[in-house]
Amino acid sequence: DPGHGGKDPGTSFQGKLNEKDVVLYFSKTLRKKLINNGYRVFLTRENDKFVELKERVEFAKKKGADLFISIHVDASKKDTVRGFSVYTLSEKKMDREAEKLANLENKGSIFSRKGLIDTNLNQGRNLIEYYHIKKAFEKVNRSSFEFAEILVNKVNERSELLKRPHRYAGFAVLKSPNYPSVLVELGFITNNKDRNNLRSKNWQSNVADKFVDAINENYK
């Protein structure tokens, strides 16, 4: 999932380097390497277009994703801050999202291909649905956590890491009980060394190789 796009450039440096362009190039590089390793890969956007957050999540669900990786670039007011990081959903956010889903009047299955819930929700079933949804969140969150830890260790071989590189947040693209998901910040566009890396096709290729290594370790 290459972040941003179109009218939304993401973060940028002096209008010369935009997050949306960096992450699209990296995503295409990673896709090629993964396909060469026998995986099926789908990008939420193939070019410079804007895609709503909900559409990104729905796209992954329709494709029956086994793993969702949202690619981004970070920024800071301090130009000394640098390094790679990865986010997964926090337990508090996970509980809140499970509760929200349990209260939805849904016309179809929340769990698409998983088929865990295939009926309309109603108030009388909310507690039961909440239980099932929370369990699903817990399962994918464990998988997300495990993959994030592996990814950090692999990328550390090729890139500087942000202090506490595995972090937790409630990003919208992480809020699905259907598949494991992580949000990656490749580096800081506001830091000279990171910015040079982000501009480097060689660096991007080397880091993409480490993504492949992490996926291979986790899924093969």
- Higher-confidence position of 28 and 220: 28
- How many CB atoms are closer than 10 A to CB 34? 18
Measure the CA–CA gap between 118 and 186, rounded to whole angstroms.
Answer: 38
Measure the CA–CA gap between 213 and 155, rounded to whole angstroms.
Answer: 9
Computed over every residue of the chain, the mean pLDDT equals 87
Pairing of strands 68-74, 181-188: parallel
Per-residue pLDDT, 127: 74
pLDDT digits (tens, 9 = 90+) for 155-213: 999 999 999 999 998 888 998 999 999 999 999 999 999 999 999 999 999 999 999 99
pLDDT digits (tens, 9 = 90+) for 151-165: 999 999 999 999 999
Measure the CA–CA gap between 59 and 195, rounded to whole angstroms.
Answer: 30
**Could you tell me the two tokens for 50?**
């804007």
pLDDT digits (tens, 9 = 90+) for 112-145: 334 343 333 444 456 777 788 888 889 999 999 9
**What does the DSSP assignment read for 11-65?**
SEETTTEEHHHHHHHHHHHHHHHHHHTT-----S-SSS----HHHHHHHHHHTT-
Q: Which helix (H) or strand (E) holds 144?
A: helix 126-155
- E strand residue ranges, 24-180: 68-74, 84-89, 161-169
CA 54 → CA 51, 114, 161, 187, distances in Å? 8, 19, 29, 25
pLDDT digits (tens, 9 = 90+) for 15-59: 889 999 999 999 999 999 999 999 999 999 999 999 999 999 999
pLDDT at 107 over 60: no
Per-residue pLDDT, 102: 55
Give strand pairing partners of 71: 2, 184
Per-residue pLDDT, 186: 98
- Confidence class of residue 108 from pLDDT cuts 50, 70 and 90? very low
Burial call 121-147: b when 16+ CB within 10 Å, e when fewer? beeeeeeebbebbbebbeebbebbbeb
What's the predicted TM-score (pTM) here?
A: 0.86
